Chain A
């Protein structure tokens, strides 16, 4: 009875304080909104409309058709024209364009002999230099690998349309069937991941300040002289934020569904369990930080210390499978990694609770360990 009463005392107090803290209240709603819009619209691995320069040394009808065919792919926009490759390269150095297409003056001859036209000339022999020459050349700013690979994708652009001749399609070696996200939209993968990132940020941030704030505002000496037990204090401090975390998850997934057409597949039970467990794990991790930090500023710095690897290593930005072994080990130690896997499985691949049980158990473990460590670290003493 009394332990419950004390937890409720802390809980009610936290809620009242939270209600009066306009900045925090605003952050609860604005943070997910802004992040969702920023990440949802900005992150796009399918790069289009790259500004490029055109150096047309041939200046014939054929070269103009070639340039138009390239523009039609939407991969690049020709934003400037230059007379020489040197000038185009200069534009790349200055950053005005990311690539340049150089069409040589003998383009007509090259097109006529190009094997990609499929005119039945057979495989070019390596000794026959003329036959193996490409039609034109791309200069690409290779420093951004994403842009480079988009332009590399143009290498085998079919030239059939160019001469209005039928192309004999070659049969691919593999057939690829896309089971999920058939339209290949990045938002579908990013929005569920955003739930993990935003919750990591806000949940850890709120609770990492929870204990130090009592100290900084001078309430700690009163608080530790009451009969409240550390575990009661910790529970009273995290429960209000569980609701806030759920509200944030709701905002992100709701808007993600409406604006970015992210599918909400899978079981509601699996989704709710995974989200609750992750909120609990993040909150109790924040509490642990709060017992270490000496000031709210330090608590904030520690939050960033957790947030950065959560963004970079959790699989949010780069596939987990592509990371080196050491980074994978670090990733496993972050609650965000497990939630990232679980929520993508549930939302995008219709997984059920049984399918994500390993990650759910990890999250449960993080939560309990965090609560225990924070309670043990919290001393009702001043020395």
Chain B
């Protein structure tokens, strides 16, 4: 079950012009510890590509290697047709990077931060002024342009960070867990901005540990302990996950779960409020009927099929942690 569900492989023998990021065998070790393990990636122009994985799965480390901030221990990276880490400086003018931790100056105001970024990217006085006005309007920062960044809320800071990362209109944007310190409404608004950027031709690579965000990506790589466990469009990952979802209502869920997990056909079983979400291997044609026929299910209430979610894909592709 831990084999990668990969819809198409990255091939080394053909360079497609539409691929803005290509990585092969990308590996990073810290001492003996392997943080990123032989990753193959291909990101197409004008799409949002997501990294989904829990904390410590190697998302930040991978992003840093794709930007040229970390040197890979092994493997190769080509970004916008240029090889890294050799052309890292060339790349810096063409990519934007929003770090996981807020990295603008907290003791500077919104406008001062944007002015700094504009100057450091070499924008002229008029050009910078116009661009800053556009960004302040686009990211709803105009009426707080004098506020110190350190005094802003998570959502406001995140909009400021995105405004700064897009100052020089990069073709490629790296966003490392951009919404981790933000409320749900701000998260939805933030994704609207991302789609606006994609419509304008930007390619975005975003890392997240939120399933609902991952679902909005055009394509997704699921990372776990430095390894890529799955790669493809979210819908396809759910369709091809190799299991069906059944939800069971039962009085003693704890015992039922233990008994179900003992069955070889059951990939995982997780408590979801009053119900138990069970993943059954898809070599069983009618999982609802099959479950009803199991002796352990005697006494259970409703048993019905459910729509698969990315969470299910995640559980399956990471090897069903519940089994242990």
Contact A20 B107 (CB under 8 A): yes
Q: Give how many A-B residue pairs fall within 8 Å (CB-CB).
A: 79
List the A residue with the shortest CB-CB distance to B93.
A227
Q: Could you say which residues of chain A place their CB within 8 Å of the CB of B85?
A: 381
- Which of chain B's residues have a CB closer than 8 A to the CB of A383? 70-71
Interface string of B71-84 (1 = CB under 8 A from A): 10000000000000
B89 touches A227 (CB 8 A): yes
For A20, list chain B residues within 8 Å (CB): 107
B104 contacts partner chain A, Cβ-Cβ < 8 Å: yes
CA distance A9 to B116 in the complex (A): 5
Beta-carbon contact of A226 and B117 below 8 Å: yes
Q: A225 — which chain B residues lie within 8 A by C-beta?
A: 67, 69, 92, 95, 97
The verdict on A61 contacting chain B, using a C-beta distance below 8 Å, is: no
A1: chain B residues at CB < 8 Å are 122
* Contacting residues of chain A (335-383) with chain B, CB-CB under 8 angstroms: 380-383
* Chain A residues, CB < 8 A from B116: 9, 12-13
Chain A residues within an 8 Å CB radius of B70:
381-383
Chain A, residues 5-21, CB within 8 Å of chain B (1/0): the string is 11011101100110011
Whole-angstrom distance from the CB of A252 to the nearest CB of chain B? 29
B120 touches A221 (CB 8 A): no
Q: Is B64 part of the contact surface with A, judged by Cβ < 8 Å?
A: yes
- Contact A16–B112 (Cβ < 8 Å): yes
- The smallest beta-carbon distance between B160 and chain A, in angstroms, is 12
Query: Which residues of A are found within 8 Å of B95, using beta-carbon distances?
Result: 225
CB <8 Å contact, A13 and B121: no
B181 CB–A CB distance under 8 Å: no
Interface residues of A in 61-117 (CB under 8 A from B): none
Chain A contacts of B120 at CB under 8 A?
A: 5-6, 9-10, 226-228
CB distance from A12 to the nearest CB of B (A): 7
Q: B290 contacts the other chain (Cβ, under 8 Å)?
A: no
**Residues B103 and A12 in contact, CB atoms below 8 Å apart:** no
Highest count of chain A CB atoms <10 Å: which of B97, B105, B119 = B119
A226: B residues at CB distance < 8 A: 92, 117, 120-121
A227 to B123, CA, bound (A): 12
With A5-B119, A6-B120, A17-B105 as contacts: A222 and B97 at CB distance below 8 Å: yes
CB distance from B82 to the nearest CB of A (A): 15
Kindly state whether residue B323 has any CB partner on chain A within 8 Å. Answer: no
B198 within 8 A of A: no
Contact, CB under 8 Å: A382 / B103: no
A218 smallest CB distance to B (angstroms) = 5
Which residues of B sit under 8 angstroms from A164, Cβ to Cβ?
A: none
* Bound CA–CA A2/B122 (angstroms): 5
Q: A13-B116, A381-B69, A382-B70 are in contact. Are A227 and B122 (CB under 8 A)?
A: yes
For the complex, what is the distance from the CA of A37 to the CA of B95, rounded to whole Å? 54
Is there contact, CB below 8 Å, between A8 and B107? no
- Assess the B122–A221 pair: CB atoms within 8 A: no
**Does B64 lie within 8 Å of A17, measured CB to CB?**
no
A residues less than 8 Å from B139 (CB atoms): none
Docked Cα-Cα span, A90 to B93, in Å, equals 79
Known: A6-B120, A222-B97, A225-B97. A381 touches B103 (CB 8 A): no
Please tell me which one of the listed residues B71, B97, B104, B121 contacts residue A227 in the complex, with CB atoms under 8 A apart. B121
Is A224 positioned at the interface, with any CB of B under 8 Å from its CB? Answer: yes
B89→A13 contact, CB < 8 A: no
Q: Smallest distance from the beta carbon of B151 to chain A beta carbons, Å?
A: 12
Interface: A219 (CB within 8 A)? yes
Q: Which residues between 93 and 118 of chain B lie within 8 Å of chain A, taking CB atoms?
A: 93, 95, 97, 99, 101-108, 112, 115-117
State whether A224 touches B69 (Cβ < 8 A): yes
Cα(A156)–Cα(B274), bound, Å? 106
User: What are 13 A-to-B residue pairs whose CB atoms are below 8 Å?
Assistant: A5-B122, A12-B115, A13-B108, A16-B112, A218-B101, A222-B164, A223-B103, A224-B69, A227-B120, A380-B88, A381-B70, A381-B71, A381-B85
A-B contact sample (11 more), CB < 8 A, given A2-B122, A5-B119, A219-B103: A17-B108, A21-B107, A218-B102, A221-B99, A221-B101, A222-B99, A222-B103, A226-B121, A381-B70, A382-B69, A383-B71
Binding site for A on B (CB under 8 A): 64, 67-71, 85, 88-89, 92-93, 95, 97, 99, 101-108, 112, 115-117, 119-122, 164
Q: Which 6 A-B pairs have the closest CB atoms?
A: A9-B119, A222-B103, A2-B122, A9-B120, A226-B120, A225-B97
